[in-house]
Amino acid sequence: MIVITGAAGFIGSVIVQKLNEKGIDDLVLVDDFTKQDKIPNHSDKKCRAKVSRDCFENWAQQNASKIDFIIHIGARTDTSEFDVEVFNKLNLNYSKMIWNIAVENAIPFIYASSAATYGMGEFGFEDSHEIIPQLKPLNPYGDSKNDFDKWVLSQTILPPFWAGFKFFNVYGPNEYHKNRMASVIYHAEKQIYENGFLRLFKSHNPNYEDGKQLRDFVYVMDLADVVLWFMEHPTNSGIYNLGTGIARSFLDLGLSTYKALGLQPKIEFVDTPIDIRDKYQYFTEANMSKLRSVGYKNEFFSLEEGIEHYVKNFLVRKRIY
């Protein structure tokens, strides 16, 4: 039996569907299932049971002997939330609780960290355990993810296998409910249809032209494939980057979205809001050598390929994966 937390969310629901496509349905889905806008993400998934996030600890204590693997994707991901206690409860302490269940019952454990832990990137983007204590995230969300990474690395009693993944800028189907926190590709397609043009942030850094700010955009299908690969190859515990290893510009993203829609591009540049301008990242790029070194050989979607697949198969059709 496999437990997936955050199973009604963006990334979690894609992982569930990938498992279903492999014929695996002995799954226990954990989330806040009262959220109406998440219902499409889980209503058609095949599983053994759905357990409320608030009831999971008690359920796990009673059923731990039946659990073969835990994939912990559930988290509060709102980077505009600044109540530290929210993140302490839902991200840090909830993750510690699940880790301890995995340790006490010798259950392999995968969890979602975040590239938000890297802050402005002043220490680079290498997934070395040694630099994690030095990292300076830019918001409480990033702090909560880095605090858990640091806590994990301080533990002396471990699950039989564990892996944390620093997700970079993830995009793809099943993110419809995320509203402001959905990917730029999601918002780009929506803007183009509603306004007839796309708005991107101007650069306020003399080293970058407007629209040439760079991010490592990773398609959720690739991300889910990496998670499933580690389930099948649980031999190299550690914290890993999960991006593509290739930084691309927001202008590239916008032009690719227009191309996937079959429309001529019309892009305007607007000032980056003052409240986020001093914390705006102009460059992120995952160092992927560690993931490759443990044997992961699959190629990632390029930005153009991923956007075309996402736009044509899901956004335009309003489809859930």
Q: Within a domain: residue 120?
A: yes
pLDDT (mean) for 203-216: 95
Of the chain, the percentage scoring pLDDT greater than 90 comes to: 89
Residue 45 resides in a domain: yes
Residue 192 has pLDDT above 80, yes or no: yes
Query: What total number of domains does the chain contain?
Result: 1
CATH number for the domain that contains residue 85: 3.40.50.720
Residue 306 located in a structural domain? no
Q: Which residues are the active-site residues?
A: 141, 178
Per-residue pLDDT for 111 more than 80? yes
Q: Say which residue the tokens 């591009």 belong to.
A: 265
User: In this predicted structure, what is the pLDDT of residue 214?
Assistant: 97
* 233 inside domain: yes
pLDDT at 77: 72
Q: Is the pLDDT of residue 80 over 80?
A: no
CA distances from 58 to 7, 62, 92, 107, 165 (A): 18, 6, 18, 16, 26
pLDDT band of 83, cuts 50, 70, 90:
confident
Q: What integer pLDDT is reported at residue 43 of this predicted model?
A: 96
pLDDT at 179: 87
Q: What is the mean pLDDT of residues 11-26?
A: 98
Give the pLDDT confidence score for residue 209 in this predicted structure: 96
pLDDT band at 218 (very low <50, low <70, confident <90, very high): very high
- 79: pLDDT strictly greater than 90: no
Q: Does residue 82 have a pLDDT over 80? A: no
| pLDDT greater than 80 at residue 76 | no
Which pLDDT tens digit goes with each residue over 24-67? 999 999 999 999 999 999 999 999 999 999 999 999 999 999 99
Q: Residue 89's pLDDT is what?
A: 81
**Does some domain include residue 143?**
yes
- The mean of the pLDDT values for the chain is 95
- pLDDT of residue 146 exceeding 90, the answer is yes
Residue 309 lies in a domain: no
Is 196 inside any structural domain? Answer: no
pLDDT at 277: 85
Residue 21 lies in a domain: yes
> Which domain range does residue 230 map to?
2-171+218-245+286-300
Is 80 exceeded by the pLDDT of residue 3? yes
Strands 169-171 and 198-201: unpaired
Distance CA 80, CA 220 (A): 22
Residues 234-287: tens digit of each pLDDT: 999 999 999 999 999 999 999 999 999 999 999 999 999 888 888 888 999 999
- Average pLDDT on 300-321 reads 97
- Selected residue with higher pLDDT from 283 and 181: 283
Pair 81, 179: CB distance under 8 Å? no
Question: Which percentage of the chain shows pLDDT scores above 70?
Answer: 99
Q: What is the pLDDT of residue 303?
A: 98
pLDDT tops 90 at residue 305: yes
Model pLDDT, residue 286: 98
pLDDT for the residue 231: 97
Find the range with the poorest average confidence among 127-131, 156-160, 248-252, 276-280.
Answer: 276-280
pLDDT of residue 90: 81
